[in-house]
């Protein structure tokens, strides 16, 4: 959608499926956005290894949880899991008060691929609005 058609982004939902390294970039983004009071964050992820030794780690994490010792530990452990073959994640960013400018949302999303060795492939949904 062309940016001149809307003024604010109220919510962005990004879904990824692929290498575990994507989770590291998401973790770094959550760390950067935690002080931003206007942005609510939620991350849901499932990490799997379907062959021996088998494991599945599924978690939901909100911005408030990411700042706790348990939340930081979970994010650190999740992206370091050896042998993981799939990582499916859904990252939701919401700006409930007044939204954010499209350029700011785009900048945040582009920052996920900074320093990445592999391209970030994701599906993206956005709820947008116009100012009266």
DSSP, collapsed to helix, strand or coil, labels residue 25 as helix
Handedness of CA 10, 86, 110, 73 (dihedral sign): positive
pTM, two decimal places = 0.86
Rg, the chain, Cα only: 16
Regarding predicted confidence, which is higher, 23 or 2?
A: 23
Q: What are the residues facing 88 on neighbouring strands?
A: 17, 46
Q: Which of 52, 51, 43, 40 is nearest to 11 (CA)?
A: 40
pLDDT at 20 over 80: no
Extract the tokens encoding 130. Answer: 């116009």
Extract the tokens encoding 31. Answer: 């760390």
For the ranges 19-28, 40-49, 103-112, the lowest mean pLDDT is seen at: 19-28
Cβ atoms 1, 102 nearer than 8 A = no
């Amino acid at each position: 959608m062309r940016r001149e058609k809307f003024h604010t982004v109220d919510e962005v939902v990004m879904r990824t499926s692929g290498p575990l390294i994507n989770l590291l970039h998401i973790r770094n983004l959550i760390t950067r956005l935690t002080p931003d009071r206007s942005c609510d964050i939620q991350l849901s992820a499932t990490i799997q290894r379907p062959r021996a030794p088998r494991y599945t780690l599924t978690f939901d994490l909100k911005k408030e949880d990411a700042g706790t010792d348990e939340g930081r530990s979970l994010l650190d452990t999740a992206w370091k899991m050896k042998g993981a073959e799939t990582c499916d994640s859904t990252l939701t960013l919401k700006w409930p008060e007044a939204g954010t400018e499209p350029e700011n949302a785009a900048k945040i999303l582009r920052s996920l691929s900074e320093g990445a060795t592999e391209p970030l492939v994701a599906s993206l949904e956005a709820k947008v609005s116009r100012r009266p």
